[in-house]
Amino acid sequence: MAREVRLPQLGQTMEEGTIVNCMVKVGDEVKKGDVIFEIETDKATLEMESPADGFVKYILAETDQTLPVGAPLLVLGDKDEEVPQSFVDSLKAAAPAAAAAEAAPATTTAEPVEPETPAKVEAKPAERVKASPRAKKLAEQLGVDLAAVTGTGPAGRITEQDVKNAAASQPAKPAAAPVPEPGLKPGAKLPLNRIQKITGQKMLQSKREIPCFYLSVKTDVTDLVELRAKLNKTSDIKVAYNDFIIRAVAIGLEKFPIMTGQLAGDTIELAKSIGIGLAISVPGGLVAPIVKDVNKKDVRQIARDSKTLVEKARSNKLAPTDLEGGCITVTNLGAFEIESFIPIVVPGQCSILGIGQITKTCVPEDGSIMVRKLMSMILSVDHKVTNGAYAAQFLDFVRKLLEDASTFSVGDW
């Protein structure tokens, strides 16, 4: 029985995806759960798994092709089954099915016709190298030619261990001269990657649809800096300033729940749980995965979760669920010595908090001058959801939490 495999909805906001890599070729046997495509969505590049067992009969999608959710990608069948060309043509001609009908089985009852010649079907897929994203990255670092590596993974896929073994067996050679990045000469044109295109579209949507106002405050984090240094001397997990900030914001969202809301017709719909986005710089752009249920976690657990998300983001391993459920995003440019900046609200969220550099500042106190460590925070807020007074109370509450080191439980450290 032949069945089509369609592009699933890999995230709540996903409407289309781009085929980055096809991991199989015509004739390959695949098992349910085997990775068959790498799909780039509006959030990240994700691995698509086969929804069923079978043998690949036809591949309908091409690398770099952008397709809507529900579009047919390939056809699976039994080993010796001949799939009529008319069935394949009907898939190509039909409009994409709804995501809910993904991978619906289709019994072939038409008389078998001569199948498409293997040379025609396999021409493009046969040229592709099947390798996991991590294996590709490692091969690039070690200078291993993937075309010369035999894969031991599912369907002959090249794994990280295959790359390591190939690197160990090849003779040492001088490192290749670095290749200059394209388009760095004056007057050159730099092509946008998909992440840059999607980011541009989302930010333009934000500017058009979200009427923002902006609130700025200086936060005295002198005691927090000392607490972090003290805790990181003995802790098995290193805590970043962002972890304290995320914890304080989560407490603030509990006290000021409208800050989790979104306009839905004539009502404001509050979030069912508190998730906070953490802006992370990755090659080719920026992603903001969500730290989930932050109000139920202490700083150390937030640090663990944040570290995991950073590692997944930078190794291109984020799952769709890692990118859903955010109420607010925290973005920090302090490491780049940026004192303050105005961030743009992510569509689907109420606000975004921009964090600047911690700077030593002379502050008058009780008739004398004290040197304190101040940090700038700028909050961008959707005025459709809340007003300035409410958001100002929220930001002031978060500021006070950060200035009071006793906010953060250290009993388990």
E strand map for 237-367: 262-264, 267-269, 276-278, 280-282, 285-287, 290-291, 328-332, 351-365
Domains and CATH numbers, the chain: 3-128 (2.40.50.100), 130-171 (4.10.320.10), 209-407 (3.30.559.10)
- Give the percent of the chain with pLDDT over 70: 83
The answer on pLDDT for 114 being more than 50 is no
- pLDDT confidence band for 126 (50 / 70 / 90): very low
The answer on pLDDT for 124 being more than 60 is no
Q: Which residues of 193-219 are buried (b: 16+ CB within 10 A; e: fewer)?
A: ebbeebbeebeeebeeebebeebeebb
pLDDT tens across 59-104, in order? Answer: 999 988 889 999 999 999 998 888 888 888 888 776 444 433 443 4
Higher pLDDT among residues 348 and 12, named by residue: 348
pLDDT tens across 273-313, in order? Answer: 999 999 999 877 888 999 999 999 999 999 999 999 999 98
Strand partners, 376: 218
Residue type, 313: A
The dihedrals phi and psi of 395, each to the nearest 5 degrees, come to: -65, -40
The answer on pLDDT for 256 being more than 60 is yes
Place of tokens 């609130």: 215
